[in-house]
């Protein structure tokens, strides 16, 4: 074999081996996710996505046939899957297995840019363990999962080549068509990345002064616009501690960049050079968005598209779940983790262990005293209740990762500045932080409007690469003991998720659904009986109206909502996400009553439930019409099935 041939084959062999390695990681993640894909069905949140996707499979257009808040792509993708492979929830669940496995691989690849292979593998495993928890949350086709995969792919593509910048922008634009804010934030992260990596005084000043000043002005406007958009996003709750904490990472980053831009005024040539990638990414991002704009303009529904996805419906949602104040047990556990690493560092350096040892002992003692009161030490220690304390640690991961990454990025900037001042070459090696830190800082805003544990878990991929960076640097400084400690704490963090997976293997569920083959879960027996009743006894093929905010029943029963266009409004009302007066402006009760009188659907209710009470309070005329013209046909558990009063009793 010639030298030239060997030179050509070696990179190709390395690329093939790397591809096989990543495929193996994806396959392993898919196998693990597949083990829980058939567990649990969520009748409310999952139902509103799946039902809308089914309507698209039947030929309806989002925002024309029904209201929705998510971008159109999530419904077109899942609608196409149902159309191609059959109307079965299993089809969507299996597609999510592949999607989540792809995200796990992308997280590994990004983490490898700033962390060692063992650390990247451990964090890949942590994500697989968390997202493999057997609950509906990780089996629901939320737009976040699709937007996350596209955003991570866009980060990987962002580089010096023109085509890759455009492709990166296309990924961000596609992410916008799944979840608007997530895609916009990812696009803005790329803009910040370009500005971070092109300091205004880093190069010569050969271009005309006016051109350089104009370019510098565009950069400052981009920074101001990014922060302004973020402030507008959290504006309804800007005065809350949660909103301020979520905004703080991005605000600090933008403020630092603005100070740097002003200190380097007038800028040199890099200010102009940086506009090229920003323009290319912008062009790429515009392509998918403008394609949808053209589609809805062509069918005369552009106003509805804009109202539901951009300006209108999004501003009418009244939903806010703030960051929880940490419990005493969470504070003690966090202090124990920090003190344990400080202990290892001092032990390695031969310094006094007194301080971190006292903190560690005191924190553990405080944790045990707190848990002795509730639930008691025996169940806490012997029954595995200690694992649930790590749920409380997870919301701190995003802020820790961004903080460590930001400090490292600042250190890299200072080293680069010192190298330029002394004429020494820059060692480099931290450029990837310029990409990952802005992305993580702006992704913290995805915890708004809901900062509960499920949403923390869903956005975790944005922060794992920086967590990997922090662990790798700690291991480099403090050696194998730090590596073992980090592994132990990460294993503990994954323990409640793994424990839920083990518990699932001991459970059996009886509920079965024809349109969800092989999928079951707890507390679904009554819903399964309702679906069977609707199929066997109650006017097969007719429309249905569910008053209890469980749109999944439409899909499982194979029945269209009698008020399909208003179903999303009913969903947000039942969930408590929209005030009554706003909901009434979106639903014309008299039109709804005329539709019900014409179609005479079967009605499913659960009188006295929170969701039914909200529906009746918000839409009293519709509720009164049902009460006056319908009668009970049967009761199944807490459900009541109602039919028009003049109908013959079924069965």
| Tens-place pLDDT, residues 41-58 | 999 999 999 999 999 999
Is the omega angle on the peptide bond into residue 375 within 30 degrees of 0, that is, cis? yes
pLDDT tens per residue, range 151-198: 999 999 998 789 999 999 999 999 999 999 999 999 999 999 999 999
* pLDDT level of residue 506 (50, 70, 90 thresholds): low
Indicate left, alpha or beta for 636 from its phi (over 0: left) and psi (-120 to 50: alpha).
beta
Q: Is 13 buried (19+), middle (13-18) or exposed (0-12) by CB count in 10 A?
A: exposed
pLDDT digits (tens, 9 = 90+) for 272-303: 999 999 999 999 999 999 999 999 999 999 99
Q: Distance between CA atoms of 201 and 260, rounded to whole angstroms?
A: 9
* pLDDT tops 60 at residue 428: no
Angle in degrees, 0-180, between the axes of helices 620-629 and 610-618, rounded to the nearest 10: 110
Token pair 């580089």 in the structure block, residue: 159
Query: What tokens were used for 328?
Result: 């005493």
Mean pLDDT over 393-408 rounds to 97
What pLDDT shows up at residue 214? Answer: 95
Does 2 have pLDDT greater than 60? Answer: no
Cα four-point dihedral sign 484, 490, 494, 496: positive
> What does the block give as tokens for 511?
């509920």
- pLDDT, tens only, 438-493: 999 999 999 999 999 999 999 999 999 999 999 999 999 999 999 999 999 999 99
CA 259 to mean position of chain CA atoms = 32
Question: How far is C-alpha 651 from the chain's CA centre?
Answer: 46
pTM above 0.75, yes or no: yes
According to the 3-state scheme, what is the secondary structure of 381-414? HHCCHHHHHHHHHCCHHHHHHHHHHHHHHHHHHH
Cα-based distances in Å from 149 to 46, 274, 602? 19, 26, 40
Show Cβ contacts of residue 261 under 8 Å, excluding neighbours closer than 6 positions.
195, 200, 216, 219, 220, 223, 267
Cα 426 from Cα 413, distance rounded (Å): 10
- CB of 25 within 8 A of CB of 104? yes
State residue 586's pLDDT score: 95
Phi, psi at residue 577, to the nearest 5°? -100, 0
The widest CA-to-CA distance across the chain, in whole angstroms, is 92
87 has pLDDT over 80: yes
Which of these, 178, 179, 29, lies nearest to 98 by C-alpha position? 29
What pLDDT score does 650 carry? Answer: 44
Higher pLDDT, 539 or 24: 24
Rounded percentage of the chain residues whose pLDDT exceeds 90: 84
Beta bridge partners of 321: 450
545's enclosing H/E stretch is strand 544-546
User: 8-18: per-residue pLDDT in tens?
Assistant: 567 788 889 99
pLDDT score at 423? 61
Residue 510's pLDDT is what? Answer: 83
The mean per-residue pLDDT over the stretch 300-308 comes to 98
Do residues 176 and 71 touch, judged by C-beta distance below 8 A? Answer: yes
pLDDT at 610 over 90: yes
pLDDT band (50, 70, 90) for residue 424: low
Mean pLDDT across the chain, nearest whole number?
93
pLDDT at 12: 84
| Residue 416: pLDDT over 80 | no
Q: What band does 425 get if pLDDT is binned at 50, 70 and 90?
A: low
| Cα 365 from Cα 510, distance rounded (Å) | 44
pLDDT category at 503 given cuts 50, 70, 90 is: confident
């Amino acid at each position: 074999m010639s030298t030239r041939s060997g030179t050509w084959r070696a990179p190709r062999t390395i690329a093939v081996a790397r591809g096989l390695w990543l495929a193996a990681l994806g396959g392993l993640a898919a196998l693990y996710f597949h083990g829980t894909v058939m567990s649990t069905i969520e009748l409310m949140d999952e139902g509103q996505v799946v039902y809308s996707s089914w309507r698209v499979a039947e030929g309806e257009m989002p925002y024309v046939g029904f209201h929705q808040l998510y971008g159109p792509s999530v419904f077109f993708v899942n609608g196409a899957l149902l159309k191609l492979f059959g109307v079965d929830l299993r089809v969507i669940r299996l597609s999510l297995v592949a999607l989540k496995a792809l995200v796990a691989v992308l997280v590994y690849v990004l983490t490898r840019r700033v962390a060692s292979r063992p650390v990247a593998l451990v964090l890949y495993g942590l994500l697989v363990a968390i997202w493999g928890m057997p609950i509906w949350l990780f089996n629901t086709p939320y737009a976040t999962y699709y937007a996350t995969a596209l955003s991570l792919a866009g980060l990987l593509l962002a580089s010096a080549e023109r085509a890759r910048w455009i492709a990166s922008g296309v990924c961000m634009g596609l992410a916008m068509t799944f979840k608007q804010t997530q895609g916009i934030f990812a696009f803005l992260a790329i803009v910040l990345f370009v500005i971070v990596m092109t300091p205004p005084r880093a190069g010569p000043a050969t271009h005309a002064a006016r051109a350089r000043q104009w370019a510098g002005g565009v950069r400052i406007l981009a920074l101001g616009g990014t922060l302004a958009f973020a402030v507008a996003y959290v504006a309804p709750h800007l005065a809350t501690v949660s909103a301020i904490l979520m905004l703080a990472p991005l605000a600090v980053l933008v403020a630092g960049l603005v100070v740097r831009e002003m200190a380097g005024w007038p800028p040199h040539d890099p200010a102009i050079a940086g506009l090229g990638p920003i323009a290319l990414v912008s062009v790429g991002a515009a392509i998918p968005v403008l394609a949808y704009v053209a589609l809805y303009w062509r069918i005369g529904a552009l106003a509805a598209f804009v109202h539901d996805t951009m300006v209108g419906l999004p501003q009418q949602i009244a939903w806010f779940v703030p960051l929880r104040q940490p419990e005493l047990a969470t504070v003690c556990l966090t202090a124990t983790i920090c003190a344990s690493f400080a202990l290892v560092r001092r032990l390695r350096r031969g310094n006094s262990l007194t301080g971190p040892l006292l903190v560690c002992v005191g924190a553990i003692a405080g944790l045990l005293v707190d848990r002795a009161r509730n639930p008691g030490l025996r169940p806490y220690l012997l029954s595995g209740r200690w694992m649930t304390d790590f749920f409380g640690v997870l919301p701190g991961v995003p802020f820790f990762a961004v903080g460590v990454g930001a400090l490292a990025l600042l250190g890299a900037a200072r080293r680069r500045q010192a190298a330029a001042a002394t004429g020494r070459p820059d060692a480099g090696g931290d450029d990837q932080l310029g990409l990952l830190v802005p992305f993580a800082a702006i992704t913290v805003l995805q915890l708004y409007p809901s900062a509960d544990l499920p949403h923390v878990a869903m956005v975790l991929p944005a922060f794992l690469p920086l967590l990997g960076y922090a662990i790798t640097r700690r291991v480099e400084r403090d050696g194998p003991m730090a590596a073992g400690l980090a592994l132990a704490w990460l294993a503990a963090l994954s323990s409640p998720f793994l424990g839920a997976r083990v518990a699932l293997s001991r459970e059996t569920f009886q509920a079965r659904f024809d349109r969800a083959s092989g999928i079951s879960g707890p507390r679904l027996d009554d819903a399964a009986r309702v679906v069977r009743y609707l199929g066997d006894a109650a006017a097969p093929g007719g429309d249905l109206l569910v008053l209890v905010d469980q749109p999944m029943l439409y899909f499982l029963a194979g029945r269209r909502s009698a008020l399909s266009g208003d179903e999303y409004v009913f969903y947000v009302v039942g969930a408590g996400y929209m005030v009554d007066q706003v909901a009434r402006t979106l639903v014309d009760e008299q039109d709804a009553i005329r539709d019900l009188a014409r179609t005479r659907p079967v009605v499913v209710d659960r009188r006295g439930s929170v969701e039914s009470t909200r529906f009746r309070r918000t839409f009293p005329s519709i509720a009164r019409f049902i009460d006056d013209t319908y009668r009970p046909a049967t009761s199944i558990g807490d459900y009541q099935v109602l039919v028009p009063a003049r109908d013959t009793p079924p069965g």
